[in-house]
A and B are shown apart, each in its own frame.
Chain A
Amino acid sequence: SQTIHQWPATLVQPVGSPLSLECTVEGTSNPNLYWYRQAAGRGLQLLFYSVGIGQISSEVPQNLSASRPQDRQFILSSKKLLLSDSGFYLCAWSMGTWGTGELFFGEGSRLTVL
């Protein structure tokens, strides 16, 4: 069966520090991968998605970046965090066809920038 894991689960970072969140998927090949952000009490905002290794689409311009160095690995990064980067970050995967909208989410990573 397929599983998705992301880490770390929680982190507190000072403003201006770098960020790296990692997500891996097991049990499937060539998944579509996504990074979402959820502000407190709010809905989901799509940040990045990827349909294959090295292929990244950005939905929202900001100081975050994403990379997909391997088929089932998706990384969210920042060189210098801002206070507004605080939130709950969710990685998700879907089957390698676009048509269903059925996403499988990781456990989430709660980032607090101080």
Chain B
Amino acid sequence: GQQLNQSPQSMFIQEGEDVSMNCTSSSIFNTWLWYKQEPGEGPVLLIALYKAGELTSNGRLTAQFGITRKDSFLNISASIPSDVGIYFCAGMDSNYQLIWGAGTKLIIKP
């Protein structure tokens, strides 16, 4: 079946640093989405991307839909403690199947 390769698996960063994570696939997707999950809660949608090349921001978060439609990245600028959590990418294919990445765990060093 289709798979998304999400990297890195985890990140240890200092408060104030910028963060970058990405997802790649061998398949084409029509939609890319980024979700954040905090401990003990369900994921929450951060950004949805619907067009190849689209670049969308949500506060300190910026995500892009790759021009090949096979990848997407999420950047977080000037990280703060409340950014900790697991970030998931998800891609929707032409059959409306939503494929999920394995997640990137963001940890901020004290």
Binding site for B on A (CB under 8 A): 41-44, 46, 90, 92, 98-108, 110
B42/A101 in contact, CB under 8 A:
no
List, in ascending order, chain A residues with CB within 8 A of B33's CB. 101-102
Identify the interface centre among B90, B91, B98, B105: most chain A CB within 10 Å of its CB. B98
Please count the residue pairs between chain A and chain B whose beta carbons lie under 8 angstroms apart in the complex.
Answer: 49
Dominant SS at the B interface? strand
**Could you tell me the distance between the alpha carbons of A37 and B41 in the complex, rounded to whole angstroms?**
13
Within the assembled complex, what's the spacing in Å between the Cα atoms of A46 and B40?
18
Q: Which residue of chain B lies nearest to A105 when distances are taken between CB atoms in the complex?
A: B42
- A-B contact sample (8 more), CB < 8 A, given A44-B43, A99-B31, A100-B48: A44-B88, A46-B98, A90-B43, A101-B33, A101-B92, A102-B33, A105-B43, A107-B42
Known contacts A105-B44, A108-B42; A44 and B100 CB within 8 A of each other: yes
Contacts of B96 in A (CB 8 A): 98-99
* A-binding residues in B (CB < 8 A): 31, 33, 35, 40-45, 48, 88, 90-92, 96, 98, 100-103, 105
Which residues from A are CB-within-8-Å of B91?
A: 101
B98 cross-chain contacts in A, Cβ below 8 A? 46, 101, 103
| Contact B48–A101 (Cβ < 8 Å) | yes
Interchain nearest-CB distance for A57 vs B (Å): 11
Among A41, A90, A98, A104, the residue within 8 A (CB) of B45 is A104
Q: Report how far A46 CA is from B15 CA in the complex, Å.
A: 34
Is the beta-carbon distance between A103 and B45 smaller than 8 angstroms? yes
Decide if B31 touches A43 in the complex (CB within 8 Å).
no
